[in-house]
Amino acid sequence: MKARRTVAAALSVLALTAVAACGKDGSPSASGDSAAPKAPGYTVKSDVKLDASPVWAAAKKKGKITIGAKADQPFLGFEDVTTNTRNGFDIEIARMIAADLGFSADQIDFKTVVSANRETSLAGGQIDLYVGTYSINDNRKKTVSFAGPYYIAGQDLLVNKDNTDITGPDSLKGKQVCTVTGSTSITKVEPLGAKVTAYENYSLCVDKLLTKEVDAVTTDDAILKGYAAKNAGKLKVVGQTFSTEKYGVGLKLDDKALRDAVNDALKAHEDNGDWKKAYDATLGLSGSAAPAVPPLERY
């Protein structure tokens, strides 16, 4: 009996620690303060006819559109597992597109797809669209189609707020710079004389940055702004981009009807100010002002 009570006590202590741990560390959705800008709502179009697109027709029949996204990028494409919600700039983009395609927020079925599986998921039809820091490049255009770009990112540097000696790519000589395994960011900072560390994901890099074991984290500024927003007051984005990554919406190869529709949706929401509002409510929290809206590349 006594042993059982001890076990019960131990379990409840464990449970309490687990609960306490959840609310910790400013998880993105926890920013419930009312002064922060809110993401806009989007009016769902009811008269959409897009039967030329097999992907759209199938989704309409199911009554659900499946959108692939990232789940581990704060304020960009983030899944909050405690509340089972997603938020971030990419997620807002996905929502505004879905609204213009005739799907309301609860008709979107978000699916986490890691970078390596994007092409196969789109080609295999597991997802209808992909919105998640997906750079448009010619190699990829052979296997998937792109709408957009909806954001032009550039490689940038994330440093501790009190850091003054890293001002841009030219000041990286001899500095410890962290990025993700295999990313193209490595090839851009190595020639500048930086010592590169590479981990599986950016949160490990950010951890090393917060403990000051590395001097900077480098990748696309969009991703860095998300981490700066998550660690507001501790980290900052330098703001000297030295590459160009055009983020597009991934689509099944050669579904021209859907591609045009997504491009139209992006154009409409960029023009009516939703794009800017979505930015301010997500990545804008990092303190970096919204960049110019990129011109669409229709093809």
Partner 1 sequence: MGILFEDGNFSTFYHGFLQTIALSALSALFALLLGGALAAFRVSPVPVLRVFGTTWVTIFRNTPLTLLMLTAVFALPRLDIHFSTFTFAVIALSVYTSAFVCEVLRAGINTVPLGQAEAARSLGMGFGQTLGLVVLPQAGRTVLPPLSSVFIALPRNSAVAGAFSNAELFSVQKVFDEKGYPIFMTFFWIALAYLAISFTISGAFRVLEKQLAVAR
CB of 178 to partner 1, least distance (A): 8
Contact string (CB under 8 A) for partner 1, positions 206-225, x = contact: -xx--x-x------------
User: In whole angstroms, how large is the CA radius of gyration of the chain?
Assistant: 21
Residue 41 touches partner 1, criterion: CB under 8 A: no
Q: Out of 181, 191, 233, 292, point to the residue binding partner 1 (CB under 8 A).
A: 181
Residue 140 touches partner 1, criterion: CB under 8 A: yes
Q: Which is nearer to partner 1, 200 or 271 (CB)?
A: 200
Q: Which residue(s) pair with 144 in the sheet? A: 252
Residue 199 touches partner 1, criterion: CB under 8 A: yes
Residue 200 touches partner 1, criterion: CB under 8 A: yes
- Number of residues lying near partner 1 (CB under 8 A): 24
Q: 3-class SS at 157?
A: strand
Work out whether the CA dihedral 193, 198, 202, 205 comes out positive or negative: negative
Q: Which is nearer to partner 1, 84 or 187 (CB)?
A: 187
Q: Which is nearer to partner 1, 34 or 139 (CB)?
A: 139
Cα(14)–Cα(5) distance, integer angstroms: 14
Residue 271 touches partner 1, criterion: CB under 8 A: no
10 Å CB burial of residue 188 (0-12, 13-18, 19+) is middle
> DSSP alpha helices (H): ranges in 134-213?
138-141, 185-189, 202-210
| CA angle at 284 for the pair 96 and 212, rounded to the nearest 5° | 130
Cα(9)–Cα(3) distance, integer angstroms: 10
Q: Out of 90, 92, 100, 119, point to the residue binding partner 1 (CB under 8 A).
A: 119
- Interface residues toward partner 1, by CB under 8 A: 115-117, 119-120, 137-140, 143, 180-184, 197-200, 204, 207-208, 211, 213
